[in-house]
Chain A
Amino acid sequence: MSFEIINPTTTKELLSVVKNLKRKKFRFGAGCTDLLLELRKKPEENLTVINITQVKDAVFTGIKKTSKGLTIGSRVTAHNIVMNEEIKRNFPVLHEAALNLASTQIRQVATVGGNLCTASPSGDIACALMTLGANCEIINENGRRRRIPIHDFHTGVRATALKRGELLYSISIRGNEKNKKRIFSRFIKIGTRKSMECSVVSLAYHIQTDIKGKIIHAGIAIGSSAPTIRSTDSACKFLAGKNIFEISENEKKEFAEKVVGYASPISDIRATAWYRKEVLYNISKGIFEDILSNEE
C-alpha cells in the first residue's frame, strides 16, 4: 500500500486540491480508520489521499448550537462527540453511539464524516444520526452546497449520494420538540466484547414524549441488519400518540415485528441471520422494559 498525501489547511485550498485532482485517482482521508484497512485489502496504484484533518474551518471541525438545533462538522471526531455536553444532555443516542465506538484510541481520530461516508451497515454514529432526522450538507469542488436528508445519503452497500468532487461538509440535527418534556434515547449495540466491537446488531432510538409519557416523536433505526442502516418508519408511526409507559405486551410484539420487518440480515462468521433477527426482535421489545425499569 502506498499513496501520495496532500494536506490542505484551508477550505479554499481543499477545494482547489479537489479541482486539480478531479480527473485523477484520489480519496479523502479523515481519521483513516476505515480507509487504510480498505487500501490494505485493495491497494490502488497512483492514488492520492487528500488529508482533510488539517483544514481549519470552524463549521467543518466544530459542533455548533443553532436556532434550529445543532450543526456537527463532518471532521468532528467520535471523541469530540463524547465530550460534548449539549449532545450528552439532549441526544443521548448519539453520545452513546460515539462512546461505544471501538476504543479510546480510535475515537480520537475516527470522524463523523468518515462514519457516514464509509457507508457501512454497522456504522454506529450514522445509525444514531438516522434517529435524529439529520440533514447532510454536501459541498463540491466549486464551493457549491446542497443538503439532503440522511435517509437519502446511503444508497446501497458502501455507496453514498456523493458525486465525484463532492465531500460531506456538515450534519445538522433538529432540536428536540419544543413541547416535549421527556426524552428516551439510547444506542443499543450488540456484540461479543465490550470494546473494539463492530455491532452484530444495533438499535438506536430517540423518543420524545410529553410529561405523562405520550409519544410525540419517535426516531428508531437499525444497524448491521440490512445492506444499509435503516430507519424503521412504520414502527415509529406505530408508536406515535401511544403512552410509552403503557405499551401492552401485544403492542410490544407488534412494534418489534415492525422493526424486524426492516431487517434483511445476512449470515456471516460473526452471526447468522437467524441470530440477528431474533436479537433485534428481543431488544426492540426490550426498549419499553428498559424505560419502565429506569423509571422505578
Chain B
Amino acid sequence: MFKELKIIGKPTPKHDAHIRVTGKAVYGHDIVLPGMLYGAILRTEHPSAEFTIDISAAKKIPGVVCIITADDIDTNNISYKRDHPILKKGEVNCIRDEIAAIAAETKEIAQQALKLIKVKYKIRKGIYGPFEALKEDAPQINKFISGKFQNKNIAETFHYEHGNLEEEKKKSAAIVKRRFTLPRMTHACMGTSNITASYNKTDGKLLLYSSTQVPFLYQRDMAHALKMNPSDIRIIQPVIGGGFGSKLDMYPFEPICALLSMKTGRPVQIIYSREEEFIASPTRQPMIIDLTAGVDKKGNFTFREINIVKDNGAYTSWGATTPFVIMQAFSSLYKVGACMFDATAVYTNNVFAGSFRGYGNPQATFALERMIDLLAEEIGMDKAEIRLLNANEKGETTGQGLHYETCGHKECLETVITKSKLKTQKSEVSKHSSKKSTQKRFVSGIGYASMLHVGGGAKIYRSDGCGTTLKIDPYGYCTIITGSNEIGQGSETVLAMIASEELGIDLKKIKVINTDTDIKPWDVGVHASRTSFVAGNSLLGAIKILKEKLNKKANELLKTSDEEFEYENGFIKSSISGNSIALDKVVREMHFSHPNELAIASYFYEPSSQVQNKEYKGNVSGTYAFASQAIEVEVDTYTGNVSVKNVWVAQDVGKVLNPLLLDGQIHGGILQGMGYALSEELLMKDGKILNPNFHNYKMLTASDIPEIDFFPIETNDKQGPYGAKGVGEAPLIPTAAAIANAVCNALDIDIIELPITPEKVLKAIHKNI
C-alpha cells in the first residue's frame, strides 16, 4: 500500500541542529531591544501572611523607571479557573507570590531596588497538606473561586465510572488496596523562564517574545488578563530552551512584564535566575492515590477503584486537569471490567503544580503497574504472564470509549519480556561463576510496566486542529507556515521531511515558519504528544491541494493529462510519458503566465476524535500509543543505591518518521523517568522550597544513563501521517513503575512512594530483617 519512502524513516539530523550546537540560536535570553529595561519581581518571604508594602525608598534609586504593586494595575485574574491574581494584594498564599515588580535601566539596579522595598508581614499558620485543608475548620485558602464544591478548599473534582463494580468485586479471587504517594518533580528546563514585552503606546499594540508552548491560547489568556483585544497582541517565540509541559500555562511574570512595558512605554525583559526557576516555575502534580483493585483466579483484572487527592497549591493551573489522562490509564490500560474513579484537587499554601510531560500518566501508571505486581503475587501468577493475559487489543473499544484502531500493546510486552529474559538469563550465569562473595551485597531485580497515552492529539478544546499554509517560490524553495510550534522536540524537522518526501524538494530548500501569531494559522499548541500527528496531517493536506495546482500546470506544460506525477529531485515527472519538468519552472509559469496563480495552499486539519461527554466518555484521540518497558536494576544493600542496569523499551509509534529524533525522545524520556523514580523531588517544608538548586535537586546526568535497547513497534495507523502516532511523552511514563517493580523484585519490599531514594531503600531493608 505504501510507496517506498526516501526520507521518512531515515535518520535525519535536526533542522536547527547547527545553530543550536554553535551557540547561534537566539533564545529569549539573547534578545536585546532598543531602550530595553530590565524587570525584576519581588516575591513574598512567607507562604501565608498578610502584608503591607512601602516602595518609597526603592523608587528613589536612580535608574529605577517603574515600580508596580497590586494597587497600580487594572487586570483580570489568570489561570483557567481565574483564581490567580497577577500581583497579590494584602495577602500572600504561597512562596511564589508576586507582590511588586520593578523595571530599571540595568539588572543590577533592579536587584538593588528590590531589596529596598519594605514589606511588613503578619505571618499566618498556613496549610501545607491537602487533608488538613479539607478539614471543616480550615480557613479558605483561595478567595477567588466560585465555591461550587462542597468544601471551600476544593479547586476541582472528577468522577468517572464504567462497569458493575460490585459484581466485579464478587468475581475477584484477590483484592489489594494500597495508598501511593507521588512527589513534586520540576521540569528544570535548561533555559530559564523569560519574556520580553514591547508595548507601543502609539497604536496600543503589544509585542511579546515568549517561550509559551501554546501561543494562540496564550494570546487569548494574555488579552483577558490585560483587558485587551487578543489580536492586538502579537506573540513571537524565540528558540525555546525546554518545555516539557512547563509552558502550557501563563504565569504572573508574563503579564507583569507586559504591564511594566505598558506603563513605561519601553521594552521590558524578565529572565529568571536558576534559583527563581526552581521556586517559581511549576512542578508535576503531587498526589496521593488510593487504589483498590481485583483479579479473578485465572488472572483477569476485574475492577479498579481509585480515589485521588491532589495538592493543588494556592492557585489552579492546567495541572489540575491531569485526571483527564489519569482516568484513561485506570479505565483503559489493560482490559478491566469495572472502574470507579474520583479525583479531587485541593488548595493548600504550597506552590502550585502545572502540566508536565505525561500529564498525570506517570503517577497513574506507577500506581497501576505496582498494583499489577501485587495482584500477581496474591494469586501466584507470573508477572509477565498476567500482563500478556490482560493486554489491550486491536479493535478494542474500552469502557471509556477509547477505540484502538491499531494497538501494539501485546507486541510491546512480548518484545520487552523476551529481550530482557534473554539477557538476564545470560548474566545470571556469569554472575554465578565470578564475584561470589559480593552476591549478598548486590541484588538484581527485573520489573515490567506498560503505558497507554493519546497518540493522535487530545480533543479537550473545541478543536484539536492545526492549520498550514504552504508555498513554493519561483526558485523551487518551499516554505511551510505551520500553526504548530517547535519547543525542541523536532517537529520542524519532521515537517520538513514530509514536505521533502512529497514534493521532491531537497531538505536544505525547505523553510519552516512557526514562530509568529501574526503570520501563522491557528493551532492548539504543543501538548499531548500531538505535533507530528496533527501538524503532519495538516501539512499533508496542504501538500495535496498544492500538488493539484502544480499537476494542472505541469500537464499544461508537458502537454499530458496525468493524474499522478512523481516529484523527485526538484522535478515533476509524468508517470505515463516519463517526461519531466523542473518544479521551479512550473512555479514560475504559474506565477508569471496566465491565469497568474500563486503556488500556495492552505489546509486546516481536524482529527476525527471527539470531545468527551460529561461522563468523560468518548474517543478523545485520533489514535493511541502503547509502550512497555522491562528494567533491570541492581540494588546495593549496603547503601540502598539503586543502579539501573538495563532498559528494554518497546513502543508502538505507529511508524518511525525519524529514527534519530525518536531515539532522542526515548533516551531523554527514560532519564527523566529515572529521575522521577529515583532521585528528583522538590523538597518542601511549611510551604518553603528547601532545594532550589541542582546541587540538591538531584536531576540525573549523562553518567547515569543505562544500557537502553529500543524496539519501535510499527502498527501503521491509518489516521497518522504515514501511519505515525505521537511519541513524545510515552518514554517517561512507565519508567518509574518498572523501576519500582524491579526494586521490589530484587528485595522483596513494597514500594508505594517515589522517589526511591537510597535512604528509603535502606530503611525498607531494615524493616525486612
Chain A residues within CB distance 8 Å of chain B: 103, 190, 192-196, 198, 200, 269-272, 275, 278-279, 282-283, 285-286, 289-290, 292-293, 296
Contacts and interface: CB of A to CB of B under 8 A. Distances in A.
B463 interface: no
A248 to B, nearest CB: 14
A286 B636 CA distance: 11
Given A282-B638, A296-B437, A195 B703 contact: yes
A186 B703 CA distance: 20
Closest 6 pairs between A and B when the two form their complex, measured CB to CB = A282-B638, A194-B703, A195-B703, A275-B759, A293-B437, A293-B438
A7 to B, nearest CB: 24
Contacts of A289: 437-438, 441
B437 A193 contact: no
B700 interface: yes
Contacts of B435: 293, 296
Given A193-B679, A289-B441, A292-B437, A270 B701 contact: no
B558 interface: no
Q: Which of B638, B678, B758 has the most CB of A within 10 A?
A: B638
Contact of B639 (A194, A195, A196, A279): A279
23 contacts: A103-B701, A190-B641, A192-B678, A193-B703, A193-B704, A194-B701, A194-B704, A195-B701, A269-B691, A270-B696, A271-B758, A272-B759, A275-B640, A275-B759, A278-B766, A279-B638, A279-B640, A279-B762, A285-B638, A289-B441, A292-B437, A293-B436, A296-B436
B258 to A, nearest CB: 30
Contacts of B679: 192-193
Nearest to B680: A192
Q: Which of B436, B438, B694 has the most CB of A within 10 A?
A: B438
Contacts of B759: 271-272, 275
Contacts of B690: 269
Given A192-B757, A269-B696, A286-B441, 17 more contacts: A190-B641, A190-B758, A192-B698, A193-B698, A193-B703, A193-B704, A195-B701, A196-B701, A271-B758, A275-B758, A278-B762, A279-B758, A283-B639, A292-B437, A293-B438, A296-B436, A296-B437
A117 to B, nearest CB: 20
Contacts, number: 66
B24 interface: no
A283 B757 CA distance: 18
B545 interface: no
Contacts of A293: 435-438
A290 B703 CA distance: 23
Interface in B426-478: 434-438, 441
A226 to B, nearest CB: 19
A275 B763 CA distance: 8
A76 to B, nearest CB: 24
Nearest to B701: A195
B148 interface: no
Interface of B: 434-438, 441, 638-641, 678-679, 683, 690-691, 694-696, 698, 700-704, 757-759, 762, 766
Contacts of B638: 279, 282-283, 285-286
Contacts of B757: 192
Given A190-B641, A275-B758, A196 B694 contact: yes
B166 to A, nearest CB: 45
Contacts of A286: 441, 638
Nearest to A190: B639
Nearest to A283: B638
Q: Which of B437, B640, B762, B766 has the most CB of A within 10 A?
A: B437
A168 B19 CA distance: 45
A198 B695 contact: yes
Contacts of A271: 758-759
A192 B674 CA distance: 12
Contacts of A192: 641, 678-679, 698, 757-758
B639 A282 contact: yes
A285 B440 CA distance: 13
B694 to A, nearest CB: 7
A167 to B, nearest CB: 27
A102 B710 CA distance: 30
A39 B372 CA distance: 52
B434 A193 contact: no
Contacts of A195: 701-704
Contacts of A275: 640, 758-759, 762
A286 B702 CA distance: 28
A279 B441 CA distance: 12
A275 B758 CA distance: 9
Nearest to B435: A293
Contact of A296 (B434, B640, B695, B703): B434
A194 B642 CA distance: 11
Contacts of B678: 192
Contacts of B703: 193-195
Q: Which of A192, A269, A279 has the most CB of B within 10 A?
A: A192
B276 to A, nearest CB: 14
Contacts of A194: 701, 703-704
Q: Which of A196, A269, A271, A292 has the most CB of B within 10 A?
A: A196
A286 B701 CA distance: 27
A269 B683 contact: yes
Nearest to B693: A37
Contacts of A290: 438
Contacts of A270: 696
A279 B765 CA distance: 12
A126 B635 CA distance: 29
Contacts of B695: 198
B754 to A, nearest CB: 14
Nearest to B760: A275
Nearest to A290: B438
A283 B698 CA distance: 23
Contacts of B641: 190, 192
A271 B679 CA distance: 12
Contacts of A296: 434-437
A67 B513 CA distance: 69
Nearest to A37: B695
A269 B694 CA distance: 13
Contacts of B691: 269
Nearest to B759: A275
A193 B702 CA distance: 10
A193 B696 contact: no
Q: Which of A193, A200, A285, A292 has the most CB of B within 10 A?
A: A193
A293 B762 CA distance: 23
Nearest to B674: A193
A273 B264 CA distance: 54
A193 B696 CA distance: 11
Nearest to A272: B759
A122 to B, nearest CB: 11
A286 B703 CA distance: 24
A279 B641 CA distance: 11
B487 to A, nearest CB: 25
A270 B435 CA distance: 31
B747 to A, nearest CB: 15
Nearest to B437: A293
A274 to B, nearest CB: 8
Nearest to A289: B437
A107 to B, nearest CB: 13
Contacts of A190: 639, 641, 758
Contacts of A279: 638-640, 758, 762
Contacts of B700: 193
Q: Which of A271, A272, A282, A290 has the most CB of B within 10 A?
A: A282
Contacts of A272: 759
A293 B438 CA distance: 7
Contacts of A292: 437
Contacts of B434: 296
A292 B683 CA distance: 40
B639 A193 contact: no
A174 B185 CA distance: 48
B192 to A, nearest CB: 16
